[in-house]
Structure 1
Amino acid sequence: MKITLVAGARPNFIKIAPIIKAIEKKQAEGADISYRLVHTGQHYDKNLSDTFFEELKIPQPDSNLEVKSGSQSVQTAAIMVTFEQELLQNPCDLVMVVGDVNSTMACAIVAKKLNLKVAHVEAGIRSGDMTMPEEINRIVTDSISDYFFTTSTWASENLLKYGTDSEKIHFVGNVMIDTLHQNLDRITKPDFWNKFQLSPENYVILTLHRPSNVDEEQSLQKLLLGIDALAKDKKVLFPVHPRTKAILENTSLNFNNIIYVEPQGYLSFMYLIKNSFAVITDSGGISEETTVLGIPCFTLRENTERPETQTIGTNTLVGISIEKLEVIYNAFLLNGKRKSGIPELWDGKASERIISILLNQC
């Protein structure tokens, strides 16, 4: 079996890494399976792309489509045009896409139009928010895939509601957590650890990248000033996304606690999360990692496509207003961590299950 693996953005790299390891393990056992790794180039910043291949020991891509940035339509079209040529020149039996970025949807469409099988890893998750580009990518990808690998029974149930054949749905667990398990003994202090006098639990991690939180300068300033105040005696480490950095460069904000740092590689970022007091974020994926690490997470969104991180894990949705965050965060300071656990099958073996299923069914 020849598989084309698609990676386009930071979360994709983290999810692809254990799948490659699982394929190589089966190869060593004599299985007839091979892969070709295609990097669409959707993220091309060194810290958001190449670093993850190096740190997670992913081989250099067999092909880099180098599509780079652009509007949603421009980027998606560029991926489709170049990926079609990639598949025509390098035939395969199955295309595997992961997550919900533009590369996921675009490459799935191209593969199906070439009559190839498509496997979607992290299928079935839904936020219910059609203003999110990722939600559209999820729905379109799931509407044309042949194999659906889900992170939770909730995601599997979503697919059934959409009319997906139950025999094509496979609840396997979370490949993002596979990578976490495989690298926990390799995580490393960032270079600035001593410079900022960091120690376990004396800081909070802040990440912001969603347009609703960062694209309007005044609301971003209000949010940051509020977080700076509620942190009290904790430092706030803020790895600044390039788009957010461009907005902040036009301001003259002064903070008591917030410290800007560069976007981090996987190993140093996981070290920071594992040793943090709490995380404030608008990312969906980070709430999965904080759940497994037992770190309180406060998500600045009105919805989540990962409800298991709330019902079972350490995540709390706080909306997008600083006022609501202040109420919920102060309650946390008063009452301490709430009881939490780890979702079913988040055990570091999801990738092995995926490859075993494909070998048995293809």
Structure 2
Amino acid sequence: MTASTVGFVLGTRPEIIKLAPVIQECHRRGIDTHVIHTGQHYSDSLDAVFFRQLGLSPPDTNLEVGSDDHGAQTGAMLAGIEAELHDVEPAVVFVQGDTNSTLAGALAGSKMDIDVAHVEAGLRSFDDDMPEETNRVIIDHISDHLFPPTEETAALLRNEGIPEDRITVTGNTIVDAVQTYDDRAASESQILSELGVTEGQFDLLTAHRAETVDDRDAFERILSGVSRASAQADREVIYPIHPRAEDRLEEFGIAVPDRVRLVEPLGFFDFLRLESTADVVFTDSGGVQEETSILGTPCVTLRYGTERPETAFVGANCVAGREPSGIVAAAAQMRGKAGDWTTPFGDGNAAVQILDAIPKLAVGEAVTATE
């Protein structure tokens, strides 16, 4: 028997990284894949470099949708993905996370009666002001196979009435990716010397979410709080700046504090190396909360809630909000932690478990989509 074609829809850095282990496990099983890139991130520094570093072939299709309002962006993605799925007729289409790319991929598959598999299902921030929260709920309720990373996220799905036979707890594929590539990042990345920083003697900042950078006051408060927190420990802050955030700095005329050094967006290996060697990481990113918890680096989340509460439960993360005083206090609490907590997202075997949970893709069970 030959393997079914399996579709993957992705559009952002976290989706590329977190779906890479599943794509690679398909290839190990002899299963053909068809990767549809929506182009939600359209900068080479934010997507193509990750394909190269992760050892993935370029996507089979790039819709090049780019940035737009939510409705226009999602609609363009939906039309393009639907056309691709008509041509490919995959047995299953995989989506990951909570972006507009994920929503469009899940909607297209569901409407075409193709099995939809949602990697990293069940996350909830309980913040309805986040567009991603709406996406998460819709995607989970229209998916056929849901792969929550923890028992806690699985319980949230059950509480929403999703049938047990659609839910499989697998851990998170980010553990697979970090465990696979951390040693390579340490040996191949030269980012510490390029930036002139010493391991453990700098802080790292990521801030790009709309609620963080599209509000001038919020953005200024965050930069002020991070700068003050780092000054207390005599640390410089390295900030690989997302194009969205860079545009807002210019638009709002925000003066970046002297303590904060802006650098260009980084590839996966360089960013992983900075995450693993920073003293403290400040972030508004859910994915960075996960990565730092795996790497043993203390994290301060620049939001008032998180859909990754497990990181706080194990002591890897402190949710600080956006007020400078809260950021300073959270950094003082986290700085110097040993990083010896237990990783809450599994043992690095998520991709295998995910494919094993779909009978037509399990080892020895794969069949062609037309059989």
Shorter chain as normaliser: what TM range?
over 0.9
* Alpha-carbon shift at residue 161 of structure 1 (Å): 0.6
Q: Tell me, yes or no, if the aligned pair for 2:227 and 2:257 is still in contact at 8 Å.
A: yes
Q: Secondary structure of 1:61's partner? A: coil
Identity among equivalent pairs (%): 35
- Superposed counterparts of 1:147-166, under 5 Å: 147-166=145-164
Matches within 5 A, 1:20-59: 20-27=23-30, 33-59=31-57
Counterpart for residue 288 of structure 1: 290
User: TM-score, normalising length from structure 1?
Assistant: 0.93
The answer for the alignment partner of 2:118 in structure 1 is 120
Structure with bigger RCO (C-alpha 8 Å, 6+ apart): 2
Match of 2:369 in 1: none
* 1:109/1:252 CA distance change after superposition, 3 Å: closer
Equivalent residue of 1:231, what SS? helix
Q: Secondary structure at the match of 1:92?
A: coil
Equivalent pair of 2:13/2:47 in contact (CA under 8 Å): yes
1:47 partner letter: S
Are 1:84 and 2:82 matched, yes or no? yes
By how many angstroms is 1:229 displaced?
2.3
Q: How does 1:55-70 map to 2 (within 5 A)?
A: 55-70=53-68
One-letter amino acid of the structure 2 residue matched with residue 44 of structure 1: Y
Tell me the equivalent position of 1:99.
97
| Paired position in structure 1 for 2:206 | 207
Secondary structure of residue in 1 paired with 2:168: strand
Gap change, CA 1:88 and 1:291, over 3 Å in 2: same
Give the 5 Å matches for 1:294-305: 294-305=296-307
What is the aligned partner in structure 2 of residue 247 from structure 1?
A: 248
Shift of residue 254, structure 1, vs aligned partner: 5.6
Aligned partner of residue 193 in structure 2, secondary structure: coil
Give the TM-score normalised by structure 2.
Answer: 0.91
Q: Is the aligned partner of 1:357 residue 2:360?
A: no
Identify if the C-alpha distance between structure 1 residues 92 and 331 changes in structure 2 by more than 3 Å, giving closer, same or farther.
closer
Give the counterpart letter for 1:249 in structure 2.
E
**Structure 2 counterpart SS, 1:59:** coil
Match of 2:19 in 1: 16
Separation in structure 2 between the aligned mates of residue 356 and residue 336 of structure 1, nearest angstrom: 37
- In 2: Cα distance, 1:186 partner to 1:336 partner: 25
1:223 aligns with 2:222: yes
Alignment-derived partner of residue 179 in structure 1: 177
Runs of 5+ unmatched residues, structure 1? 28-32
Report the aligned-residue RMSD.
1.8
Q: What is the identity, as a one-letter code, of the residue corresponding to 2:86? A: L
Query: How far apart are the structure 1 equivalents of 2:351 and 2:337?
Result: 35
Change (3 A) 1:220 1:261: same
Q: Which amino acid aligns with 1:236?
A: V
The number of equivalent residue pairs is 355
Q: Indicate which of 255, 259, 262 corresponds to 1:260.
A: 262
* Cα distance in 1 between the residues matched to 2:337 and 2:57: 43
Offset at 1:234?
0.6
Distance 1:84 1:294, change over 3 A: same
Q: Distance in 2 between matches of 1:254 and 1:80?
A: 38
Q: Distance in 2 between matches of 1:338 and 1:24?
A: 34
Give the whole-Å Cα distance in 2 for the aligned partners of 1:50 and 1:339: 34
Deviation at 1:230, TM superposition (A): 2.0
Identify the match of residue 275 of structure 2 among 248, 273, 276. 273
CA-CA distance at 1:87 after TM superposition: 1.0
- Report how far residue 252 of structure 1 moved: 6.3
1:289 to partner: Cα distance: 0.9
Cα deviation for residue 192 of structure 1 reads 5.4
Q: CA deviation at 1:2?
A: 2.1
- Tell me: CA distance 1:92–1:195, structure 2 relative to 1, closer, same or farther (3 Å): closer
Distance 2:256 2:8 in 1: 45
Q: Output the CA distance in 1 between the equivalents of 2:291 and 2:160.
A: 28
Pick from 146, 163, 168: which aligns with 1:170?
168
Distance verdict in 2 for CA 1:192–1:96, change over 3 Å: closer
Alignment of 1:319-334 (within 5 A): 319-333=321-335
The secondary structure found in structure 2 opposite 1:249 is helix
Q: Indicate conservation of the 8 Å contact 1:313/1:343, yes or no.
A: no
Aligned-partner Cα distance in 2 for 1:181–1:295: 15
What residue identity is the alignment partner of 1:161? N
Offset of residue 201 of structure 1: 0.6
Rate the CA distance shift 1:201–1:6 in 2: closer, same or farther, 3 A: same
Residue by residue over 1:311-336, the C-alpha shift from the partner in whole angstroms, topping out at 9 and shown as x without a partner, is: 12501111121111112223445x74
